[in-house]
Amino acid sequence: MNTYPIAGGGTHHDQIGSRYWTAGHMTCPSCKDAIIFLEASTGSKSQVLPFMAYPSTTGRPPAPIEVPSHIAEDYEEASSTITASPKASAALSRRCLQTILREHGFTQYNLAEAIQAVIDSGKLPTGVAENIDAIRNIGNFAAHPMKDTSTGQILPVEPEEAEWNLDVLEELFDFFYVQPEKARQRRAALDAKLAAAGKPPMK
């Protein structure tokens, strides 16, 4: 293994099998802990995008506090696995979506039917309704091997597709959990003000 010093840290290169691995490291200027990045390549072609191996981070904010913990847990696991396995991330996003829909009355056994039901209900904002079916389609690539009809190759889940799933889930979190809770708090504050003025609460 060779070592090449760089400002504030260093890089290490090694070959494992057919891949060349590069590890870059530096010290966090704030907490003084180590920061380690990894990248793999075969010859000159990059195979794994650079990612932060330590400390573990998703690069995305956690689920809002209004989201139930069992759903937030699936979302955050989907976020944390996106670099190592977009397929696993997409599968977790699919499960997260199915739980959200089921707990809001769309109890169809098949996720595709539940998605269609929530779209047909007209409850979702247009932009969210247009995006929600992406999780079903991308989730199918994660759950079932699907081939390109022209090449016969198995079609993978791309990192940007798995990222899109998480974006759609964030939109659903805002619609189903964050905005209703904000509205509840505003109503409660106004009802308290009305009560102080001797008026009846909002209907």
Q: In what order do the strands lie in the sheet with 19-27?
A: 2-6, 9-16, 19-27, 34-42, 45-54
Q: Which structure tokens are listed for 94?
A: 């699919």
Residue 62: pLDDT above 70?
yes
- CATH T-level assignment (fold) for domain 58-179: Four Helix Bundle (Hemerythrin (Met), subunit A) (1.20.120)
Contact 128, 168 (CB under 8 A): yes
User: Cα angle vertex 80, ends 145, 106, to 5°?
Assistant: 65
Predicted pLDDT of residue 89: 87
Residue 17: pLDDT above 60?
no
Query: Residues 157, 158, 164, 169: is their CA dihedral positive or negative?
Result: positive
Please classify residue 147 by burial: count the beta carbons closer than 10 Å to its beta carbon, then call 0-12 exposed, 13-18 middle and 19+ buried. Answer: exposed
Predicted pLDDT of residue 111: 84
User: Cα angle vertex 166, ends 163, 168, to 5°?
Assistant: 115
Residue 191: pLDDT above 80?
yes
In angstroms, the CA 97 to CA 194 distance is: 39
Residue 129: pLDDT above 80?
yes
Predicted pLDDT of residue 144: 43
111-121 helix and 126-143 helix, angle to the nearest 10 degrees: 170
Mean pLDDT lowest among 53-57, 69-73, 74-78, 167-171 = 53-57
Look at 164 and 25; give whichever has higher pLDDT: 164
Domain ranges, ordered by start, for the chain: 1-57, 58-179
* Displacement of CA 79 from its chain's centroid (Å): 4
In the chain, the percentage of residues whose pLDDT exceeds 70 is 68
